[in-house]
């Protein structure tokens, strides 16, 4: 046997060992399997070491060539072995990892449900070209009543139980005074909503509260009609509660509108078929609306022969109660975290 033949033979053995090693590594399923692979190939008495011992028998030209090949094989085998060892360890760790432990919760705040509804109402109306206006909660008798065509000795004052303050002031009973303030400062066209807190002398119970929130809207321009009012209220109802909503207008009376109306939404619970909430009528009373009374225009120097307008109101609590299925208005003002957490 020549030296060349010998070297050739060892190289063949190396390749064979490589294949065997890969096969053995692939079939490793456990730590024990892995240990057998180590013993068989990588230990001092293993296959690779055995091949190194044959190296001494080669001639000086072949020895470095085969030696390099063998060294490369040993390094690669060691690295492959460690990879498998690592993945075995990881698998073992994952087996003990409990994903059901609770996560680290970030602290989150929340908007009050009443104001979430108010925000929605504001968005609907600003989309339809209404500007948001604000005004004071302490109002003069003039803005809260007189300028709204509610003279001092008129029975319509009884419609709103009022908290009076000294010196001719009141806590506003509606946000309508904001309409007067806006019209005083702006010529038509006017298209505004006034959201805000209002006060009525109502003894607190499930449906009454001495404070509540209202959104009032006003639109004044040339040729504004009752048909436009019906349109805007209908659009609002459908944007808020969905396309199938219907609106009903009934005659009513407010000193600052003529004609005046109460408007109802088709019952959101029974789709208008009649249920307990709507008292079998299929309708839910929402609030009042109407065409601005010419007397009101008189107070703000708008010419009633040129301009006409509509106004409408709504109670935010009422809508929020319907939307969320809340039956007691007082829960809004308690601010119980168990309540606020739900929204």
Partner 1 sequence: MKVTLNWLKDFVDISYSPDQLAQKLTMAGLEVEDYFAVNRSFKGVKIGKIIDCTPIEDTDHLTSCLVDIGDGRVNVVCGAPNTKKGLVAPIALVGARLEKVEITSRRIKGIESEGMLCSEVELGLSERAEELMELPSDTPVGLDFERFLGEPDYVFDVFITPNRADCQSVIGIARVIASISGRQLRRPPVPWREQDISGNNPVQVIIKNSNRCARYSGRFIENIRIKASPFWLVERLFNVGVRSINNVVDITNYIMMETGQPLHAFDYKLLQGDKIIVRTALKDERFTTLDEKEHILNEHALLICDTVKPVALAGVMGGLNSEVQPETSTVFLESAYFEPVGIRKTAKELDIFTESSRRFERGVDPNGTVYAMNRAAQMMIDLADGHIIGKAVDNYARKINPVNIDLNIERVNRLLGTKRSMQDIAKILTSIEIDVVKSNHDMLSVNVPTFRPDITRPVDLIEEVAINLGYDYIPTNTVACINQLQTPNLKDKFRDFMRGLLVALGLRETVSINLMPDKYAEYFLPEKTGLVQIINPLSADLAALRPDIMSSLLTIISYNRNRQNDTCRFFQIGNVAWKTEAYVEKTHVAGILAGKRTESTWFGKEETFDFYDIKGLAMSLLGKLGIVDLTLKKNTVGFWDSSSVAVFSGKEYLGCMGKLNDQACRLAKIKINDVFAFNFDFDQLFRFARIDKKFESISKYPSVPFDLAIVVDNDVPVAQIEKFIWSAAGSDLIQVKIFDYYTGDQIGAGKKSIGFSLTFSSKERTLDESSVEQSIKNILAHLNRDCGAELRPR
Q: Which stretch binds partner 1 (CB under 8 A): 19-27, 38-46, 54-62, 329-337?
A: 329-337
Residues 47-86 within binding reach of partner 1 (CB under 8 A) = none
Closer to partner 1 at the Cβ: 118 or 314?
Answer: 118
Number of residues binding to partner 1, judged by CB under 8 A: 81
Query: Would you say 85 or 162 has its CB closer to partner 1?
Result: 162
SS3 216: strand
Two tokens at 82? 């460690």
Report in angstroms how near the CB of residue 255 gets to partner 1 at its nearest: 8
Task: Please list every residue from 133 through 192 that binds partner 1, using CB under 8 A.
Answer: 133-134, 136-138, 153-156, 158-159, 163-166, 169, 171, 189, 191
105 membership: H or E segment, kind and range? none
Nearer to partner 1, 5 or 167 (CB): 167
129 binds, among Zn ion, partner 1, none (CB under 5 to 8 A by kind): partner 1
C-beta neighbour count of 82 within 10 angstroms: 10
Helix spans in 137-262 (H)? 141-144, 176-185, 226-241
Nearest alpha-carbon partner for 215 in 159, 289, 277: 289
Nearer to Zn ion, 201 or 271 (CB): 271
Nearer to partner 1, 94 or 227 (CB): 227
The count of C-alpha atoms lying within 13 angstroms of the C-alpha of 157, restricted to the half-sphere facing its C-beta, is 15
Provide the binding-site residues for Zn ion, judged by CB under 5 A. Answer: 267, 269-270, 275, 278
> 270 is in the binding site of which of partner 1, Zn ion, none (Cβ under 5 to 8 A by kind)?
Zn ion
C-alpha–C-alpha distance, residues 308 and 292, integer Å? 7
In the complex, minimum distance from the CB of residue 14 to partner 1, in angstroms, rounded to a whole number? 48
CA 176 to chain centre: 31
Quick one: 104 or 276, whose CB is closer to partner 1?
A: 104
**What does the block give as tokens for 191?**
């298209």
Q: How far apart are CB 272 and Zn ion at their closest, in Å?
A: 7
- Residue 232 touching partner 1 (CB under 8 A): yes
Strands (E), 267-319: 283-292, 308-315
* CA–CA distance, 121 with 323 (Å, rounded to integer): 12
Q: Could you give the CA distance from residue 145 to residue 151 in angstroms, rounded to a whole number?
A: 7
From Zn ion, partner 1, none, interface partner of 312 (C-beta below 5 to 8 A by class): none
- How many whole angstroms separate alpha carbon 132 and alpha carbon 124? 11
Residue (of 257, 253, 282, 285) closest to 269 by Cα position: 282
Residue 217 C-beta: closest distance to partner 1, Å: 12
Q: Which is nearer to Zn ion, 163 or 269 (CB)?
A: 269
275 binds partner 1 (CB under 8 A): no
Q: Which is nearer to partner 1, 58 or 170 (CB)?
A: 170
CB 306 within 8 A of CB 300: no
From residue 260, alpha-carbon distances to 223, 227, 289, 314 in Å are 18, 13, 6, 14
CB of 266 to Zn ion, least distance (A): 8
Q: How far apart are CA 13 and CA 10, in angstroms?
A: 5
Pick one of partner 1, Zn ion, none as the site partner of residue 142 (Cβ within 5 to 8 A by kind).
none
- Residue in 64, 67, 231, 298 binding partner 1, rule: CB under 8 A: 231
CA distance 4 to 6: 5
* CB of residue 126 to partner 1, shortest distance in Å: 7
* Binding residues among 252-271 for partner 1 as defined by CB under 8 A: 252-253, 258-262
In the region spanning residues 283 to 312, those forming contacts with partner 1, defined by CB under 8 A, are: 291, 293-294, 308
Instruction: Find the shortest distance in angstroms from Cβ 153 to partner 1.
Output: 4
Q: How far apart (Å, rounded) are the C-alpha atoms in residues 17 and 191?
A: 89
342 binds partner 1 (CB under 8 A): no
């Amino acid at each position: 046997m020549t030296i060349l033949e010998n070297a050739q033979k060892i190289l063949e053995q190396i390749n064979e060992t490589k294949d065997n090693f890969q096969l053995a590594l692939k079939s490793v399923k456990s730590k024990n399997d892995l240990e057998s692979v180590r013993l068989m190939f990588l230990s001092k008495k293993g296959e690779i070491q055995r091949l190194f011992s044959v190296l001494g028998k080669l001639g000086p030209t072949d020895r470095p060539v085969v030696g390099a090949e063998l060294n490369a094989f040993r390094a690669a085998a060691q690295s492959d072995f460690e990879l498998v060892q690592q993945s075995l360890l990881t698998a073992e760790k994952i087996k003990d990892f409990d994903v059901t432990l609770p996560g680290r919760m970030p602290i989150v705040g929340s908007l009050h449900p009443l104001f979430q509804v108010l925000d929605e109402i504001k968005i609907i109306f600003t989309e339809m070209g209404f500007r948001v206006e604000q005004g004071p909660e302490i109002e003069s008798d003039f803005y809260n009543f007189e300028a709204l065509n509610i003279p001092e000795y008129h029975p319509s004052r009884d419609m709103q139980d009022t908290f009076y303050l000294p010196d001719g002031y009141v806590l506003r009973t509606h946000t309508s005074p904001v309409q007067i303030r806006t019209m005083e400062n702006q010529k038509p066209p006017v298209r505004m909503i006034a959201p805000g807190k209002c006060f009525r002398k109502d003894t607190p119970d499930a449906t009454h509260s001495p404070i509540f929130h209202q959104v009032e809207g006003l639109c004044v321009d040339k040729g504004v009609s009752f048909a436009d009012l019906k349109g805007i209220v209908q659009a609002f109802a459908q944007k808020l509660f969905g396309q199938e909503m219907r609106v009903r207008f009934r005659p009513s009376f407010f000193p600052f509108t003529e004609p005046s109306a109460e408007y109802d939404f088709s019952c959101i619970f029974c789709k208008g078929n009649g249920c307990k909430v709507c008292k079998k009528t299929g309708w839910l009373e929402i609030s009042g609306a109407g065409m601005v009374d010419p007397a009101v225009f008189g107070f703000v120097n708008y010419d009633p022969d040129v301009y006409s307008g509509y106004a409408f109101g709504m109670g935010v609590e009422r809508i929020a109660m319907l939307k969320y299925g809340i039956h007691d208005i007082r829960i809004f003002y308690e601010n119980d975290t168990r309540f606020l957490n739900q929204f």
